[in-house]
Amino acid sequence: MNIIVAVDRNWAIGNKGDLLVRIPNDHKHFREETTGKVVVLGRRTLATFPQGLPLKNRTNIILTRDTGYQVKDALVAHSVEQLMEMLGEYDSRDVYVIGGESVYRQLLPYCDVAHVTGIDHAYEADAFFPNLDMDPEWEITADSDEQTYFDIAYQFLRYERRGRAD
């Protein structure tokens, strides 16, 4: 399974229910990685999307403990166990965990590849992703040249869990 995330220098991912920054090339990278694939996200993350609707051209699976929660054009799982059962129908290489913080933390142990946009800036934040640089299970296996958007430097990094990615 894959995880895809944009993080700042402190591995922050959000503040007050929103992204830290919007970088058009990062959004393009996200679309290219996930279109035609399965995306797994939390209910609060879905609420931040335009009109709170699932992403087009993807199979959306919402992970929430709210047993009454339903959303048009998406599947809903109420536990990690139920989610894993549902994901059994898909090639794990086509599954992308897309947030938020709680979903990332719950599902990182099941992921072998992390697509990380590293943003060279420290933002005010209240949501964080685990620091893969400090985790000996993970290593960088690919990186892009540094890119800039106005005065923000960033690069695309691929982390793989040691001994598990294909």
Q: Give the residue-averaged pLDDT of 44-48.
A: 93
Q: Give the residue-averaged pLDDT of 137-157.
A: 97
Q: Give the residue-averaged pLDDT of 46-50.
A: 92
Dump pLDDT digits (tens) for 94-133.
Answer: 999 999 999 999 999 999 999 999 999 999 999 999 999 9
Percent of the chain with pLDDT over 90: 96
Q: Are 30 and 49 in contact (CB under 8 A)?
A: no
From the CA atom positions of the chain, what is the Rg in Å?
15
Reply yes or no on whether the pLDDT at 157 is more than 70. yes
pLDDT at res. 163: 79
pLDDT at res. 113: 98
Q: Which residues contact 106 (CB under 8 A, 6 or more apart)?
A: 63, 80
Q: What is the pTM of this model?
A: 0.95
pLDDT band at 164 (very low <50, low <70, confident <90, very high): low
pLDDT at res. 102: 97
**Tokens 């989610």 identify what position?**
83
Percent of the chain with pLDDT over 70: 98
Dump pLDDT digits (tens) for 54-94.
Answer: 999 999 999 999 999 999 999 999 999 999 999 999 999 99
DSSP H stretches of helix in 49-135:
80-87, 101-107
Least confident range from 16-20, 106-110, 136-140: namely 16-20
- Domains in the chain, start-ordered, CATH in brackets? 2-161 (3.40.430.10)
DSSP element (H, E) containing 32: helix 24-34
